[in-house]
Structure 1
Amino acid sequence: MSRRGWILFLAMSVVWGIPYLLIKVAVRDIGPAELVFVRTAVGALLLLPIALYRKELRASLRPWLPLLAYTVVEIGVPWLLLSHAEQEVDSSLTGLVIAGVPLVAALIARERLSGTRVAGLLTGLAGVGLLVGFHGGTGGAIPILELLGVVLCYATGPLIIERWLADVPRYGVSAASLVAGALLFAPVAVPNLPSLARTVTPGPALAALALAVICTALAFVLFFALIAEVGGVRATVITFVNPAVAVVLGALVLGEEITPLTVGAFALILAGSFLATRRRPAGKETTPDPEPAPV
């Protein structure tokens, strides 16, 4: 990769590795629905001018039904589940469980699986199972099930893009989906904002703002620049780096524990994800690798 490509890659690895930390801090004072609304509304305000300037918004609205489905599956449901789950579980555990997204994506893509990919799936799922089984009692079963639901959503969203929105401009899809997400959560969140403004402390407020500005709006801009610089396939490698960033930040900032079992489970997930998403030799690949989901 070029020097610019490496800079963008490292920036994206951090930008999509810190949301779990920020969510953990934000939900101390901000409810899950309100947090998702702030993130989508502020993100939309920042991305809409770019989409309008590039004249991409109108094209993204034509396939409105797939766009709505993408919004629900990739933004609305997973961001709500993430925020709710992190009220009970560590941010580092969240990041590690989300590392299983490529495994589930490979399972539901309906591709013919080679022996290498099957081995990768089994290895990665063993890592997820080990991680979930060990930590399942720390926050109860519901947060773990919510995180697994996030994994399923994040694995499904790119398939919607691939099948129905592949030719739609990326900035248009991102801006329109954030607007739709804000509208979906507005009826629940907006009535609570006045009281929230009086009670929220600076830490959670800044975390929510950073989540919207850095991990949503800026993240999309950087990610699209990364794809343009190195290609979509190489850009997916950040999926394997983000969880490590989440674990390190959780330990350094929040004092979350890193155990040998956690490291071992992460190694299994990484190895399994690499093998399960490994591309076939040229001419044999039938389906492009999905892009990483926004976190």
Structure 2
Amino acid sequence: MTARAWSLFALMSVLWGIPYLMIKVAVEGISPSGVVFARCALGAALLLPFALRQGGLARVLRTHWRPMAAFACTEIIVPWWTLTDAERRLSSSTAGLLIAAVPILGVALARLFGERERLGARRLTGLGLGLAGVAVLTAPHLTVADARSLAEVLVTIVGYAVAPLIVARHLKPVPTLQLIAPCLTLAAVVYAPAALLDRPATAPGAAVWASLAGLGVICTAVAFVGFLELIREAGPTRAVVFTYVNPAVAVAAGVAFLDEPLTAGVLAAFALILLGSVLATATAGRRRGSTVAASGPLGSGGAPAVAASGTPPVTAPAAPRSPRSEDVDRHGG
């Protein structure tokens, strides 16, 4: 890869791992609905003008509104809320590591969506190792108090795994900006009433506002443009490899900024999930954003779900060959 591609790769590795930290901070002062609304509203406000500038958005909506609505529900509307609510009780590092199991579930769910790719011994071994890592990570949380949080993270993982399969099957012709911007707009509209009703009685602190701004601007809007630039520079297959680094960043951020414990169980779970993800997705060579999921997110906590970029201003990706929606990964959180 070029020096520019490596720079983008390194930047994305960091910025797609920090949404879990930002969510953890934001949810201390704002309701989960408020966090999701702010993130989606900021992202939509920045991306929608460029989606409109590309032209043809109305035609895209008329033609693909059903799968786009399904994608919005499985990628943003449901999983962003469940992940945010879960982080009121789970540590950000635990959430980040659990979401790393998305590609493993994506491999399994792909077969339900018509994928007939053979699961060889390597991929089956990867599935087993990844599930073992999830078991190691969740074992300390198998209590009544944590049951809801674990269930919410499971819902998030399923959503992140299903969403790219919808894209691969029904939304390949849709340019990425014209997919993401309307979905963020829809999510913002859905959560606006709840965000208003659940607004805090007192003004949140500066750290909460900074986290909301970071989630909406960096991890959802600017991030997305940066990911498109990485796709152009390195190609869609290489561009998503950095997502294997995100769980380590999520753990490191939680330990460094929130004093979350770095235990032997966390390290073992990270090693098992990382190795399992690499093996389980090795044949396909793809993660979420094609037929195998990844963080996201669009991310990613990441979604993300949506990818992350760095300091360059948001500019419309107006190249003649606009990256298509099958090139997108979420992630994150």
TM over 0.5: yes
Partner SS, residue 217 of structure 1: helix
Do residues 215 (structure 1) and 219 (structure 2) align?
yes
- Match of residue 170 from structure 1: 176
- Match of residue 4 from structure 2: 4
- Match of residue 93 from structure 1: 94
| CA contact 1:100–1:124 (8 Å) conserved in 2 | yes
Amino acid at match of 2:130: G
| CA contact 1:76–1:181 (8 Å) conserved in 2 | yes
Tell me the distance in 1 between the aligned counterparts of 2:183 and 2:169.
17
Give the C-alpha shift of residue 4 in structure 1.
Answer: 1.2
Do residues 107 (structure 1) and 108 (structure 2) align?
yes
- Match of residue 141 from structure 2: 135
- Match of residue 24 from structure 1: 24
Tell me the distance in 2 between the aligned counterparts of 1:132 and 1:145.
11
For residues 3-58 of structure 1, what are the alpha-carbon distances to aligned partners after superposition, in whole Å with 9 as ceiling and x for unaligned? 11111111211121110000000011100011101110111000011212222633
Tell me the distance in 2 between the aligned counterparts of 1:138 and 1:260.
23
Structure-1-length-normalised TM-score = 0.93
For residues 93-142 of structure 1, what are the alpha-carbon distances to aligned partners after superposition, in whole Å with 9 as ceiling and x for unaligned? 00000000010000111132111110110011111111111333495111
User: Cα distance 1:219–1:59, how it changes in 2: closer, same or farther (>3 A)?
Assistant: farther
| CA contact 1:60–1:169 (8 Å) conserved in 2 | no
User: Cα distance 1:3–1:289, how it changes in 2: closer, same or farther (>3 A)?
Assistant: farther
Give the C-alpha shift of residue 150 in structure 1.
Answer: 0.8
Within 5 Å, give how 1:1-295 maps onto structure 2.
1-55=1-55, 57-61=57-61, 62-110=63-111, 111-137=117-143, 140-193=146-199, 198-279=202-283, 289-290=292-293, 291-294=328-331, 295=333
Amino acid at match of 1:124: G
User: Cα distance 1:180–1:87, how it changes in 2: closer, same or farther (>3 A)?
Assistant: same
Tell me the distance in 1 between the aligned counterparts of 2:6 and 2:233.
10
Tell me the distance in 2 between the aligned counterparts of 1:216 and 1:16.
10
Give the C-alpha shift of residue 191 in structure 1.
Answer: 4.1
Tell me the distance in 1 between the aligned counterparts of 2:89 and 2:140.
15
Amino acid at match of 1:183: V
**Could you tell which deviates more after superposition, 87-96 or 231-240?**
231-240
Tell me the distance in 2 between the aligned counterparts of 1:87 and 1:36.
14
Amino acid at match of 1:258: L
User: Cα distance 1:103–1:280, how it changes in 2: closer, same or farther (>3 A)?
Assistant: closer
Structure-2-length-normalised TM-score = 0.82
Give the C-alpha shift of residue 201 in structure 1.
Answer: 1.6
**Count of residues paired in the alignment:** 288
**Could you tell which deviates more after superposition, 249-258 or 48-57?**
48-57
Tell me the distance in 1 between the aligned counterparts of 2:211 and 2:49.
24
Partner SS, residue 140 of structure 1: helix
- Match of residue 284 from structure 1: none
User: Cα distance 1:60–1:21, how it changes in 2: closer, same or farther (>3 A)?
Assistant: farther
| CA contact 2:85–2:149 (8 Å) conserved in 1 | yes
**Could you tell which deviates more after superposition, 248-257 or 234-243?**
234-243
Any unmatched runs of 5+ in structure 2?
Answer: 112-116, 294-327
Q: Percent identity?
A: 44
Give the C-alpha shift of residue 280 in structure 1.
Answer: 5.8
User: Cα distance 1:29–1:270, how it changes in 2: closer, same or farther (>3 A)?
Assistant: same
| CA contact 2:161–2:292 (8 Å) conserved in 1 | no
User: Cα distance 1:252–1:149, how it changes in 2: closer, same or farther (>3 A)?
Assistant: same
RMSD: 1.8
Tell me the distance in 2 between the aligned counterparts of 1:56 and 1:7.
33
Amino acid at match of 1:122: G
- Structure (1 or 2) with the greater helix fraction: 1
Amino acid at match of 2:178: G
Amino acid at match of 1:47: L
Tell me the distance in 1 between the aligned counterparts of 2:291 and 2:207.
41
| CA contact 1:32–1:84 (8 Å) conserved in 2 | yes
- Match of residue 114 from structure 2: none
